[in-house]
Structure 1
Amino acid sequence: MDPVEEVLNNPAMRAYIHRLIGDEGLDLLEKFPKEGEHSDEDLAASTGINLNSVRHTLYTLYEKRLAEYHRIKNNETGWLTYLWRLRIDHIHDSIRDDMEIVLGKLEHRVQFEEENDFYICKDCHDIYTFSQAMGGDFKCPNCELPLGHFDNEMLVKALRERIESMKKVLGHA
């Protein structure tokens, strides 16, 4: 099976790609010629997708190492032509890199949650740190109602479970 077809038939990978490049990008991947290298103009002409959308998709894929190019120069005109090919075989590395970023953000968030004490307005549902609540005399700055303590134990537990799950998937456990 073609690597692009394999990725697009996998619901999780398709969702990941869709998040990156949207509907038009998926359309380009589905219509991308299986063999060889192609200029963005050729791809736009052969797929019927707007040239700017083709370029945006290719650059987004390039940033994730899912496409690559080489350029050739026309010695008569000095124009550069970029010839593109897909590297969907790098999708697992791309997903892994993104998961590492998310893992770092989750670890930072759980640290923030564990190091702070929180207060909530029962009416507005806004949440404040201890220092924010103390600065407002433990009254909601929006409605002036007294703030109550907010127990974030369930949130911390859920964050820790997600972190451990991601670490297992990434081989950090």
Structure 2
Amino acid sequence: MPKFKLNLRHQEKKLLVSEEIKMRRKNITMPENVVPNDPLEEFISKMATNPSLLIFRFLAKENSEATEDTLSEKLGMSKNLVRKLLYKLHDINVVVYRRVRDEETNYYIYYWKINWEGLAATLLERKKEVLKKLKEKAASEEGKVGIYYCKKCGREYTFDEALENDFRCKICNEPLEFTQKGKYEEFLQKYIKKLEEEIKIESERNYGS
């Protein structure tokens, strides 16, 4: 089963690369970066890949429904890729659809739009998950004088672990940097407080409580 999943990912990457080549030939640029400090785009890029941003941006700008055919034509993507990306966006609650049966062909036509209400709730839950992990991280740092970390891969080490590896990263073999506990804790607590405030505001806005 894991091998099958790996093959699926590989085929999907090949499809995206192939589509990007076609789009560049048509002078349609695939988004390489998300809009800075935009939590929506960061969330979509991480959970559904950067090409999905093209669909999200189009639907958000039009603020109306669009069929797979329309998205394919307007964005210069194949219908196959559009469908795959829409399913990814649907899986993370970014878009919703309604289907209407075509009386002539007897096939269903799918109309897609942004799920603004559901997306707000999804983002709120994601922030709660991040907050929980940050609090767990802060608790695990109690009692430590400081941490050693690799600037290249971000892996962290205790003093004993760093000493055992001659203060070099096990993964990258890069020299380890030292960060004092006070500065690290200050950063964690500052970010935790920021998230708590955002969650409170968004919870009141979404649920009125």
Partner residue of 2:198 out of 147, 169, 172? 169
User: 1: distance between equivalents of 2:184 and 2:71?
Assistant: 47
The ranges of structure 1 where at least 4 consecutive aligned residues each deviate by more than 3 angstroms after the TM superposition are 13-18, 20-24, 29-37, 70-74, 77-83, 115-121, 130-133, 138-143
Shift of 1:96: 1.4
Partner residue of 2:184 out of 148, 155, 162? 155
Q: Structure 2 regions of 5+ residues with no counterpart? A: 1-34, 150-154, 169-177, 202-209
Q: Deviations over 1:81-113 (max 9, x none)?
A: 644332134433232122112111111211121
SS in structure 1 at match of 2:142: helix
Matched, 1:12 2:12: no
User: 1: distance between equivalents of 2:147 and 2:75?
Assistant: 55
The TM-score normalised by the length of structure 1 is 0.60
Distance 1:155 1:94, change over 3 A: same
What's the Cα RMSD here? 4.2
Distance 1:55 1:163, change over 3 A: same
User: 2: distance between equivalents of 1:23 and 1:150?
Assistant: 33
Q: Is the CA contact (8 Å cut-off) linking 1:67 and 1:84 kept in structure 2?
A: yes
Distance 1:46 1:107, change over 3 A: same
Q: Which residue of 2 aligns with 1:43?
A: 71
Q: Deviations over 1:21-80 (max 9, x none)?
A: 555333323434644462x34432343223344234322321332211345678xx9976
The TM-score normalised by the length of structure 2 is 0.51
| 1:1-173 correspondence runs (5 A) | 12-13=38-39, 15-16=41-42, 19-20=45-46, 21=48, 24-32=51-59, 34-36=63-65, 38=67, 40-70=68-98, 82-116=110-144, 120=148, 128-129=157-158, 132=161, 138-141=163-166, 151-171=180-200
Query: What percentage of residue pairs aligned between the two structures are identical?
Result: 18
User: 2: distance between equivalents of 1:67 and 1:18?
Assistant: 11
User: Which residue identity does 1:19 align to in structure 2?
Assistant: S
Larger of the two Rg values belongs to structure: 1
User: 2: distance between equivalents of 1:120 and 1:34?
Assistant: 48
Shift of 1:118: 5.2
Distance 1:41 1:107, change over 3 A: same
Instruction: Give the length in aligned residue pairs.
Output: 151
Distance 1:90 1:11, change over 3 A: farther
Distance 1:162 1:130, change over 3 A: same
Q: Structure 1 regions of 5+ residues with no counterpart? A: 1-8, 144-148
Shift of 1:116: 4.4
Shift of 1:170: 1.1
User: 1: distance between equivalents of 2:37 and 2:182?
Assistant: 33
